Chains A and B, each alone.
Chain A
Amino acid sequence: MRILIVEDDREAASYIRKGLRESGHVADHAGDGEEGLEMARAAEYDVLVVDRMMPRMDGLSMVAALRSDDDRTPVLILSALGEVDDRVEGLKAGGDDYLVKPYAFAELLARVEALARRRDPDTVRTKLVVGDLEMDLLARTVVREGEDILLQPREFRLLEFLMKHSGQVVTRTMLLEKVWDYHFDPQTNVIDVHISRLRSKIDKPFPRSLLHTVRGAGYRLQA
């Protein structure tokens, strides 16, 4: 993947860049909003990682300018603010996801990869398949090896998210945000408990497990 990092903090930028390269991506860096806008217009990127507070042109203005050019490149906004309505503001300006500093690199990577996946034309998908696990989004049924699996509504949404991002790492925070729409971190391991419930339904009765725990990052559903 080709990723553009727009961030005025050079140290933070090189940290992200190094991490992304190590994960097999190509990462460029722009030092402020104007430079970022120029670079984003000049080349095709899969994902933009944009810091919110920057000199010359701030992140939100840059994203708004891109969107007015009808550039739909997914944008992850980085912010040190981190209150709910800051997030709302960021998403309104055209950001696709919002990450509050400080963050773990694994979190950033997971979100960047999830954003890149979004570009796939998944608009009319009615069926998700991972290995022998199948989900029918219209009938709202889940089948594995021909066996029906009964899921609670929330478990269904959790599995749906995991299947849509199959092969990718999804973090606990991402699940909490996207599946439950909560933007805080509970002290207890609520997500782990829900994942283990889901696992007992989709994995336990079968010889091969699909839902893997990625240490220090989150979970990955993979055939």
Chain B
Amino acid sequence: MTARGAAFLRTTAFRQTLLSAALFALSSFVTLGFVYAASAGMVLRRADTAINEEVVALDASFQAGGIRTVNRYILERTVGGGADYLYLLVHPTGRSLSGNLTYLPEVQPDDEGRVQFTYRRPAAGDNDGEDGKDDRTARGRIIELPSGYRLYVGLDVDEETRLVSRMLNTILAASALALALGVATGIFVSRRFARRLDRINTVARRVKAGDLQPRAPRNFTGDELDELSENFNNMLDRVEALMHRMRHTGDSIAHDLRTPLTRMRNRLDEALREEAAPGSREQALERAVADTDELLGIFNAILSLSRLEAGESRASIQRLDPADIAADLAELYEPVCEDEGLAFNSEIQGGLSMLGDRGLLSQALANILDNAVKYTPTGEAVTLRLRETGDGRIEFSVTDTGPGIPEADRDRVTQRFVRLDNSRTQPGSGLGLSLVQAIVDVHNGEFALAEGPGVVSGGHGPGLRASLCFPKAAAES
């Protein structure tokens, strides 16, 4: 047997099916055995009853007239053949006196005095001729008569025993067949099972080897292997997404840090040159410091983002009025918007209550407002709104009438370091919206980006509506 075959024999599936096949064979054997015992027993019991009746009749004739009467009784019935019963009357010397049997084999009677043996039928008259055999089975009783005579009374049970043994053979054959069929189905089923498992294992091995592309095959029946495949695939999708994000983060960190680092290096290099004027040297150093601050800002953002995402932030969540947060930010950003030539509006609904961390929520809103200020062209408008939504949640939203974000990119921008092409020229780490997403997640909220109320033709674009939805706090206890 090949190693693969041997491995197959060790599989759980094969062992399970083998066990169930064996159990199935055993149970059919027991059932048929019960049928056999019942029917075979009945056939022989009927013969025994008939024999007993004849013994009673013979006993009566012996009581009536002794051994002669018995002899005559037997002769009357056996001469000319065709007797129902088998008889043999044996003289104390061992000589046969009368009967249709030639001799009495030395067979030990059982507890009830019954004997069963094979005899050769004297005449061929009643031969069934099937196989030309004349060895037939007799079943009967031996009665010891007074003065040493022995009398055998029996019945030809050849048909019956043959039936019984045929039945027994059938039962054994059927059981063997059941076992064989069970094993065959077992092998078939477990092969299929093993093959499907094998395919999943192959995928796992390929993934382990570093290839994240393959997926476990599914047959969409919803059976347990299909479910396993589905879960396995979902896990792989998640791993792949994480890996991709990590790789992307790494690349982006490299990219985003390389630019300010290179810039800083060039400035310092320039400042070191001897011909540099003292004034420009100072300026170069100052700008290098500013570059460093930008780098540190990016590092800090990465750090707080990682902490928030890892759930380590232990945000100090408490009951607060979201209107306070919104009003403070409106006050902070209104002059900024005005300076940029943007119309700023705020609509703040009071009397709401939610659980949150003021600092984090303010930071999230500030990030969104920063974006609105950065990307909305002069002459457009920014609106900060706080309201209770129709489904009873608390929603902060910042709507602008700027260029908006193309629908295809909206999911992407909350990922770390994702910066849309037209924003690369703007300062920023590409971490702002990731931070918003992480803060919203900490508050069990929902962050969504949608089209704003802007006009596509003539205006600068559809605008953007960024909304942060949070559950309302339960009534004050």
Contact = CB atoms under 8 A, between A and B. Distances in A.
A85 B289 CA distance: 29
Nearest to A184: B363
B335 A183 contact: no
A194 B432 CA distance: 23
B314 A187 contact: no
Nearest to A100: B300
A102 interface: yes
B427 interface: yes
Given A193-B335, A193-B339, A184 B289 contact: no
Q: By DSSP majority rule, is chain B's interface helix, strand, loop, or mixed? A: helix
Given A84-B316, A182-B359, A193-B336, A104 B366 contact: no
Interface string A176-217: 000010111111111001101100000000000000000110
Interface string A123-157: 00000000000000000000000000000101000
B420 to A, nearest CB: 16
19 contacts: A82-B303, A85-B316, A100-B300, A102-B296, A154-B331, A180-B328, A182-B363, A184-B363, A186-B370, A187-B367, A187-B374, A187-B427, A187-B428, A188-B336, A188-B370, A193-B335, A193-B336, A216-B286, A216-B290
A183 B313 CA distance: 14
Contacts of A85: 314-316
Given A85-B316, A193-B339, A197-B335, A183 B370 contact: no
Interface of A: 82-85, 88, 100, 102, 104, 152, 154, 180, 182-190, 193-194, 196-197, 215-216
A98 B188 CA distance: 72
Contacts of B331: 152, 154
A182 B362 contact: yes
A83 B367 contact: no
A183 B315 CA distance: 13
A190 B363 CA distance: 13
Contacts of B366: 182, 184, 186
Given A180-B328, A186-B366, A193-B339, 8 more contacts: A82-B303, A83-B313, A84-B316, A180-B332, A183-B359, A187-B367, A193-B336, A215-B286
Contacts of A196: 339
Contacts of B297: 185
Q: Considering residues A152, A189, A216, which has the most beta carbons from chain B within 10 angstroms of its beta carbon?
A: A216
Contacts of A104: 289, 293
B58 interface: no
A98 B369 CA distance: 27
A88 B318 CA distance: 15
Contacts of B300: 82, 100, 185
A188 B297 CA distance: 13
